[in-house]
């Protein structure tokens, strides 16, 4: 398997540290509102990463965190805590917001048919681990205290910024716009923020330094080390995490352990809607509920995501979602052939059903080229719909559907047979056609359409497909 590594900026063969267990960490959602479509693009792509690793015979430990405290509006250390902001918006406590949107996320990844992550840890459940990590950094001389918190001293970590190729001189020059003049360097970041003296926060904890809450970056280091060890095989997230969040995760983790934090770093590119970067502030934060409200399924969304490569700048549009819906219908029409095999084939396809999953896996194993995988699958579906499936091929065909589902998270093997009433309607239409009663035949066809079943006539008889 090969993956593009942000660390080395090249495509590299992937080798886990322990052949028996690959560790993957994905920076998860901040649960102060519904995730928008851009978040889902990122998360679905990492579901495909995990599926590809698993299909390559690897046992995968996958951790995706749930940020429910400490993520400030600016992504750095200024502004309001996003959870507190959500609480004000909805007239609830930050705890209510964290519970509601955290649970929503756990439920949503199930709706989207994700591989179940090994752990979905919440930051508020790991305060002690975060405090201990700060103590370790403090004992090694990487921290200092100012009025509003404990900070990581980036000047003590000589390779700070290498990962993102940050121009630290330029950052220094820009420091006059820095909000917090007490910071020693503009790149220094908060490990622990103190509660304000004049207001009570919903979420705050005692610490050796005073009441407060952990900085956002810290949770990923503390929780990934707890569940996956000091050095990860793969760390993943969105591209916008590179300059601040991931740069800071690397600094504090490697300062604490003296070991590499992750061997492979993967980043998904931005998603554009109407050629604009997604941001809730511009009102283009489309949710799963908006998608279902327009009659699309979670599988339609998944296919739309897979139609582009994770490192390309993808575009979401309702037209593209409709195209993905049609592509999925083609695949489902193919899957429905398992219930209607013909006695013997007249023509043969250029492939064997038993080879399809291996071919798909080979495509995905070269840096997750999902768009090429779908291109290939569409050619398989087109040919299969043309030549049909013979009785003898059904077991290999069913196995192929299951293998495709395992790789792509489609639910093709779940396309069920039609019921007896619907079969009787098809027979009724055949009789009407035999009597050249075209009106009656058409009426039956319309009735079947209300059951979301379409028909096509072939030399081997009528074939139904889901609509």
- Collapsing DSSP to helix, strand or coil, 243 comes out as helix
Token output for 195 = 């509660």
C-alpha distances in angstroms, 313 versus 48, 267, 305, 310, 452? 18, 12, 11, 8, 35
- Convert residues 5-34 into a mask of x (bound to Zn ion by CB under 5 A) and - (unbound): ----------------------x-------
Token output for 4 = 């593009």
Instruction: Identify whether the C-beta of residue 237 lies closer than 8 Å to the C-beta of residue 137.
Output: no
C-alpha distances in angstroms, 135 versus 142, 215, 236, 262, 343? 10, 14, 26, 22, 72
Instruction: Give me the least distance between CB of 240 and Zn ion, in Å please.
Output: 12
Which CB, 241 or 332, lies closer to Zn ion?
241
Q: Are strands 189-194 and 232-238 parallel, antiparallel or unpaired?
A: unpaired
Instruction: Give me the least distance between CB of 124 and Zn ion, in Å please.
Output: 15
Contacts of 199 (CB under 8 A, 6+ apart): none
Element (H, E) at 61: strand 60-64
Instruction: Give me the least distance between CB of 187 and Zn ion, in Å please.
Output: 17
Q: What's the burial of 87, exposed, middle or buried (CB within 10 Å: 0-12/13-18/19+)?
A: buried
Instruction: Give me the least distance between CB of 237 and Zn ion, in Å please.
Output: 6
Instruction: Identify whether the C-beta of residue 12 lies closer than 8 Å to the C-beta of residue 3.
Output: yes
Contacts of 395 (CB under 8 A, 6+ apart): none
- Collapsing DSSP to helix, strand or coil, 356 comes out as helix
Q: Are strands 314-316 and 271-273 parallel, antiparallel or unpaired?
A: parallel
Beta bridge partners of 190: 151
The answer to whether residue 251 forms part of the interface with Zn ion (CB under 5 A) is: no
Instruction: Give me the least distance between CB of 249 and Zn ion, in Å please.
Output: 6
Which CB, 124 or 308, lies closer to Zn ion?
124
Instruction: Give me the least distance between CB of 73 and Zn ion, in Å please.
Output: 17
Which CB, 247 or 308, lies closer to Zn ion?
247
Instruction: Give me the least distance between CB of 190 and Zn ion, in Å please.
Output: 15
Instruction: Identify whether the C-beta of residue 394 lies closer than 8 Å to the C-beta of residue 345.
Output: no
- Convert residues 202-241 into a mask of x (bound to Zn ion by CB under 5 A) and - (unbound): ------------------x---------------------
Q: How many residues bind Zn ion (CB under 5 A)?
A: 2
Which CB, 267 or 304, lies closer to Zn ion?
267
Which CB, 45 or 332, lies closer to Zn ion?
45
Which CB, 7 or 349, lies closer to Zn ion?
7
Which CB, 97 or 222, lies closer to Zn ion?
222
Which CB, 25 or 194, lies closer to Zn ion?
25
Instruction: Identify whether the C-beta of residue 81 lies closer than 8 Å to the C-beta of residue 70.
Output: yes
Closest CA to 330 of 391, 298, 370, 374: 374
Binding to Zn ion, residues 161-200 (CB under 5 A): none
Instruction: Give me the least distance between CB of 27 and Zn ion, in Å please.
Output: 3
Contacts of 258 (CB under 8 A, 6+ apart): none
Instruction: Give me the least distance between CB of 6 and Zn ion, in Å please.
Output: 14
Which CB, 270 or 325, lies closer to Zn ion?
270
Which CB, 193 or 302, lies closer to Zn ion?
193
Which CB, 220 or 262, lies closer to Zn ion?
220
Instruction: Give me the least distance between CB of 406 and Zn ion, in Å please.
Output: 28
Which CB, 109 or 334, lies closer to Zn ion?
109
E strands of 135-269, at which residues? 143-146, 149-152, 189-194, 212-214, 232-238, 262-268
Q: What's the burial of 28, exposed, middle or buried (CB within 10 Å: 0-12/13-18/19+)?
A: buried
Instruction: Give me the least distance between CB of 404 and Zn ion, in Å please.
Output: 32
Instruction: Give me the least distance between CB of 32 and Zn ion, in Å please.
Output: 16
How many other C-beta atoms are found inside a 10 Å radius of the C-beta of residue 389? Answer: 23
Instruction: Identify whether the C-beta of residue 39 lies closer than 8 Å to the C-beta of residue 285.
Output: no
Binding-site ranges for Zn ion (CB under 5 A): 27, 220
């Amino acid at each position: 398997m090969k993956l593009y590594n942000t660390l080395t900026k090249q495509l590299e063969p992937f080798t886990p540290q322990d052949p028996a267990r690959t560790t993957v960490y994905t920076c998860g959602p901040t649960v102060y509102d519904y995730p928008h479509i851009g978040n889902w693009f990122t998360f679905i792509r990492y579901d495909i990463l995990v599926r590809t690793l698993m299909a390559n015979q690897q046992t995968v430990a996958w951790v995706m965190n749930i940020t429910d405290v400490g993520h400030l509006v600016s992504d750095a250390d200024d502004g309001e805590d996003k959870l507190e902001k959500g609480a004000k918006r909805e007239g609830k406590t930050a705890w209510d917001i964290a519970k509601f949107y955290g649970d929503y996320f756990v439920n949503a990844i199930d709706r989207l048919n994700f591989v179940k992550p090994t752990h979905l840890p919440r930051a508020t459940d790991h305060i002690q681990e975060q405090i201990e990590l700060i103590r370790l950094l403090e004992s090694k001389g990487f921290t200092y205290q100012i009025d509003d918190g404990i900070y990581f001293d980036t000047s003590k970590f000589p390779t700070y910024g290498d990962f993102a190729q940050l121009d630290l001189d330029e950052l220094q020059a820009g420091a006059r716009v820095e909000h917090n003049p007490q910071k020693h360097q503009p790149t220094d970041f908060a490990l622990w923020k103190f509660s304000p003296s004049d207001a009570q926060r919903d979420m705050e904890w005692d610490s050796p330094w005073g009441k407060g809450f952990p900085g956002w970056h810290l949770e990923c280091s503390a929780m990934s080390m707890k569940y996956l060890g000091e050095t990860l095989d793969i760390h993943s997230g969105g591209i916008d995490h590179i300059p601040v969040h991931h740069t800071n995760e690397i600094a504090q983790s490697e300062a604490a352990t003296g070991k590499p934090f992750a061997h492979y770093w993967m980043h998904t590119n931005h998603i554009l809607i109407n050629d604009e970067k997604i941001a809730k502030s511009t009102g283009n934060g489309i949710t799963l509920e908006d998608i279902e409200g327009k009659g699309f399924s979670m599988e339609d969304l998944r296919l739309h995501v897979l139609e582009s490569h994770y490192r390309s700048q993808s575009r979401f549009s309702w037209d593209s979602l409709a195209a993905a819906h049609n592509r999925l219908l083609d695949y489902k029409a193919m899957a429905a052939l398992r219930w209607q095999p013909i006695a013997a084939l007249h023509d043969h396809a250029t492939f064997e059903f038993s080879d399809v999953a291996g071919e798909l896996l080979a495509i995905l194993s070269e840096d997750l080229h999902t768009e090429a995988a779908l291109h290939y699958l569409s050619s398989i579906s087109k040919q299969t719909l043309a030549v049909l499936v013979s009785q003898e091929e059904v077991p290999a065909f069913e196995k192929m559907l299951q293998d495709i589902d395992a790789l792509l998270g489609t639910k093709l093997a779940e396309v069920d047979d039609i019921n007896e009433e619907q079969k009787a309607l098809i027979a009724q239409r055949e009789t009407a056609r035999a009597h050249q009663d075209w009106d009656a035949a058409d009426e039956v066809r319309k009735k079947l359409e209300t059951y979301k079943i379409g028909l096509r006539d072939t030399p081997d008889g009528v074939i139904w497909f889901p609509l």
